[in-house]
Chains A and B, each alone.
Chain A
Amino acid sequence: MSGFQAGRMLDPWGWIWAPFASCIFAAILVAVPIRLFGLRLPEPIFALVPAFAWAVIRPSILPPFLLLGLGLFLDIFRGGPLGLWPTGLLVAYGFVLATRPMMIGQSRPMMWAWFGVCCFICVGTAYLLTMLDALVTPNLLATFWQLLVTVLLYPFAHRLIARYEDADVRFR
């Protein structure tokens, strides 16, 4: 077949399953009880990296359900309310998917800012849901730190996007 139709096939292991497994491993690794210089380490949301990258690379049916599974894993692993992180991740994924035609191909700083907005939407959704669920306002400072360290993870998302963005020209 000609390369016009599909360019080259995306390897599902490379762009879906490997990030999925990496996120699970990173979440387990970060949960190790360790302190540096007496300070508690922040807890970034690694799952936002593939949530952003998957939506930017190309629309697909599989990532939403993988994000559902990833979020459920985070909830169970961290002992939080079941459904909190799936909702946040899926809202963020839906936002990126909806704004993709507008933001695709932008410069790296713009993409980073876009990732920041995506993180803000995810954490904000979790914040609101926690407020409704527990009827308590979560600590703003702790939420801000988590948001900040998550935004700093953009280089990982950029690497994933740069590797697979041009793989399927139909979605450029």
Chain B
Amino acid sequence: MSFRDGPFSDIKVPLTWAAGGAVLLALIAAIVLLMSDRRETLEEQAYGQIRATADSIQAPVSGALSAPVGWFRGGIAGVRGYFFAVSDNRRLRAENKELRQATDALAAERDVNDRLRALLKLRTEPPIPMVSGRSITDARGPFANSRLINVGRDAGLKVGYPVMSENGLVGRVVGVSGSVSRVLLLTDIASRTPVMIDRNNARAILSGDGGPNPKLDYMRSREQPKVGDKLVTSGDGGVMPRGLPVGVVVKGADGAWRAQLSSDRAPIDFVRILKFDDFSQLAVEQELSAPVTPEQMGGAIPQPVIPLKVVAPQPAPGAALKAAPAGTLVAPAPPLKAAPTLTPKAAPAPKTAAPKTAAPQTPAPKAAPAAAKLPSTSPIAKSAPPTAAPAVKTAPAGTAAAPKAPAPTPAASGPRTAPITSSAPKGVPVPPARAPAAVAPAPSATLPAAKAPTPQTPAPKTPVAKAPAIKGPTTKSAAGITYRKVQTPAPKTPAPKAPPPPEEAPE
């Protein structure tokens, strides 16, 4: 006997109201779940055990369903290859011809690049290990864009690893389980990726909005981007390596700058997962923090992370006035704590067109060995990484006194001299500097220079005296750079107001 046939058959349940109550209950549960979700944090714990388990369960099902698609795709490609073999052959021959020329050009560029890197002692990024996987599901709605790939924790994957297809960046791992991982695509509404325009290094944040073309937000550039500009990852923030191809800039229908993703050129089937934890894995912290000796530097750019325990310059009146403005000093900047015996005493800050934040109190290294001058348009200077900027900031003041040359224009002053001054090649004999130059003690980000008096007189008006000859014994470093102990002659004109007596600058 069923329930309806029993004594309760006459009882009319207000089913509409009951259904309404059920809707209300379920709705409350859904809202609570929504409010407690922490997906946007992209933390490993936020992904949750439930999602990881569900991914593990659905992976074989979706894998089985997607396998015939792969077979079908392969079959289509086979038939197409059979019927279009001749045209494909012609096309491939033409491509091969172009690629050979490109390979020759690439070899030459790589050779130059390697030499420049060796000269600058650039810390190149080590190769990043990769894992290959296959995409088995594809969620592509406006509110969630993600994929499951068939590699997971067993293959060493972690949350945050970048994922690439053969054409470009796809996204990054946001959840891992034993043999499956979930990849948040660049188009997902929670995706934010720091990118830059390859042409001018303009930074932007690639923000997914659920559409096929994510937006370029927070564009930071003096010039407008152009349609077709290539986008690569900028590496800012250290969450992704620099230089991964992302796509090209396009103008959206809404007028906003957007990206046409490189990974959209072809179906995303097999992907590569870069085992890139973060930026810190590219450098050894101890090596970065270790003090650097001139021998280690060999005329290269000082590493940006140097403990700045420096001493304020000894006021040597007049020495600075004989110097030319900043920007012409071409000397490999020594380490701030090293080689005091190789250098003359630092002169006080000259009245040059130093940056406004230049502080006479800025502790500078007591000397810098002379080095060759390079034009500011040197490719070396251009290729210097942004991290080389601290080299300028710690450039010594009035340390180079190359004889018999007119003072150059102050146009070359400023931070652009940093790569120049530090680009002296290792093992190259030091040519005479072309001008007596003194670099104003440039500000250091780590030093309290804000309250320092700013030089009043622009550099061109500074009387340039005949450059004194460099005297003193010379030494040669292991790197082949000649260091000369310079004795700065006494000034003929009264020196400007001397900076405060030397004192230990805070680190």
Please, how many angstroms separate the alpha-carbon atoms of A148 and B78 in the complex?
35
For chain A residues 58-79, which have a beta carbon within 8 Å of chain B?
A: 58-65, 67-68, 71-72, 75-79
Instruction: Kindly state the interface size class of chain B when it binds its partner.
Output: 35 or more
Judge whether B30 is part of the interface by a CB distance below 8 angstroms. Answer: yes
Judge whether A116 is part of the interface by a CB distance below 8 angstroms. Answer: no
- Chain A 10-51 against B: per-residue CB contact (8 Å), 1 yes, 0 no? 000000000000000000110111110000110100000000
B65 touches A61 (CB 8 A): no
Please, how many angstroms separate the alpha-carbon atoms of A15 and B172 in the complex?
41
Please, how many angstroms separate the alpha-carbon atoms of A31 and B135 in the complex?
11
Q: A35-B267, A93-B23 are in contact. Are A79 and B139 (CB under 8 A)?
A: yes
- Max chain B C-beta neighbours (<10 A), residue from A41, A65, A78, A129: A78
B26 touches A64 (CB 8 A): yes
Judge whether A103 is part of the interface by a CB distance below 8 angstroms. Answer: no
- Max chain A C-beta neighbours (<10 A), residue from B18, B36, B54, B141: B141
Please, how many angstroms separate the alpha-carbon atoms of A57 and B15 in the complex?
13
* A117 CB to nearest B CB, Å: 17
A80 touches B30 (CB 8 A): no
- Max chain B C-beta neighbours (<10 A), residue from A6, A40, A141: A141
Give every chain B residue within 8 A of A59 (Cβ-Cβ): 15-16, 18-20
Give every chain B residue within 8 A of A1 (Cβ-Cβ): 4-5, 9
B190 touches A134 (CB 8 A): yes
Give every chain A residue within 8 A of B22 (Cβ-Cβ): 61-65
Please, how many angstroms separate the alpha-carbon atoms of A143 and B136 in the complex?
24
B26 touches A86 (CB 8 A): yes
Judge whether A111 is part of the interface by a CB distance below 8 angstroms. Answer: no
Instruction: Kindly state the interface size class of chain A when it binds its partner.
Output: 35 or more
Please, how many angstroms separate the alpha-carbon atoms of A143 and B175 in the complex?
25
Please, how many angstroms separate the alpha-carbon atoms of A142 and B185 in the complex?
15
Judge whether B207 is part of the interface by a CB distance below 8 angstroms. Answer: yes
A134 touches B69 (CB 8 A): no
A33 touches B143 (CB 8 A): no
B27 touches A90 (CB 8 A): yes
For chain A residues 109-136, which have a beta carbon within 8 Å of chain B?
A: 126-127, 129-130, 133-134, 136
A79 touches B184 (CB 8 A): yes
Q: A65-B26, A78-B146, A83-B33 are in contact. Are A142 and B141 (CB under 8 A)?
A: yes
Judge whether B111 is part of the interface by a CB distance below 8 angstroms. Answer: no
Closest to A6 in B: B4
Please, how many angstroms separate the alpha-carbon atoms of A129 and B9 in the complex?
43
B37 touches A79 (CB 8 A): no
Please, how many angstroms separate the alpha-carbon atoms of A126 and B25 in the complex?
19
* B192 CB to nearest A CB, Å: 9
Give every chain A residue within 8 A of B431 (Cβ-Cβ): none
Question: Which of B209-217, B228-236, B390-398, B421-429 is found at the contact surface with chain A?
Answer: B209-217
Give every chain B residue within 8 A of A61 (Cβ-Cβ): 15, 18-19, 22
Give every chain B residue within 8 A of A53 (Cβ-Cβ): none
A contact residues vs B (CB 8 Å cutoff): 1, 5-6, 9, 28-29, 31-35, 40-41, 43, 58-65, 67-68, 71-72, 75-84, 86-87, 90-91, 93-94, 97-98, 126-127, 129-130, 133-134, 136-139, 141-143, 146, 171
Going nearest first, the 4 A-B pairs with the smallest beta carbon separation are: A83-B34, A139-B211, A80-B144, A83-B33
